[in-house]
Amino acid sequence: MIVNEMSSLRKASVAWEEIGEDAAGQRIDNFLLGLLKGVPKSHVYRILRSGEVRVNSGRVDATYRLRWGDRVRIPPVRRAQPVPSEKAAPKKGAPLLEGRILYEDDSLIALDKPSGWAVHGGSGIQLGIIEQLRRERPQAKFLELVHRLDRDTSGVLLVAKKRSLLVGLHARLKEGGIDKRYLVLAKGQFPDEKKVVRLPLHKFLTESGERRVTVHREGKESETVFYRKQRFTEVTLLEARLLTGRTHQIRVHLAHSGYPVAGDEKYGDFPWNRQQAKQGLKRMFLHAAVLRFTHPLTDAPLVLESPLPDDLEAYLRHLNTPDHAL
């Protein structure tokens, strides 16, 4: 146990951590940032630079990669006690995450993430998916998100139970070795049965501190393939295949192309969204439906699927009525 409570702050005495299989190969700065949650990032790097953090009694810099059996000295640190918040926390009566497992083995969990849950805490959110899973599995030595989904996006979410699995899947993500398919409802009559959208994306913060993404020539290369599945009078159901994994990629690619995601509160058509909410669409219609990849540790092919949630399925049934269907 590294920390003890002290009024509104938590303070630790010097502690030593022995590195096992899960942390082997990780950079020391990333290891500390994960271990010392609540400690400002700037302070973590300061104790590294000052030599207060030591590995096997010697000084290391932030790029040092940990080895199995290393002993890491953790100096006393103070961490802010989290302020309780109900924002994005599981609601009363909501099913526990144990009931949303699509697949599990010794190193991997695939969850069926519900809309409305952040994948991790922060920015006023105390409890996200990963924190809730750790609560439900206090005996687990290692649980880390493999990738992220937006708070309002539902569907397949991967969690690593071993660092070796996390490293392997990150390599596959970087190499494009994971086939990611989303179901998305776009406003308007999408004209093409298949369309490849290549637009560079740039992240920025608004004056109010909100994170946004825009198409910009100096942004990061981003590519999405859209397949038309069904057309209605006002909207089109698409399957989106991500060839890169940029923040808000599907949402910005569609909005920039003139077909914003139905229910999107950042990049969508706001007056039209309000009309659709009265028709039953209470959130963004974006669902991570399928992930296909080869398991990095077993080489087994995996196809992980999440069925369309009841609320989105009900809205599609509404669209299939004579007033909306083509």
Amino acid at 156: V
**Rg, C-alpha atoms of the chain:** 22
- Is residue 179 annotated as part of the catalytic site, yes or no? no
CA distance 146 to 169: 7
CA distance 296 to 300: 8
Catalytic residue among 22, 70, 112, 150: 150
**Pairing state of beta strands 4-6 and 9-11?**
antiparallel
Contact 106, 162 (CB under 8 A): yes
H/E run at residue 221: none
CA distance 37 to 261: 35
If 0-12 CB within 10 Å is exposed, 13-18 middle and 19+ buried, where does residue 45 land? middle
CA distance 64 to 53: 12
Question: Which residues are tagged catalytic?
Answer: 150
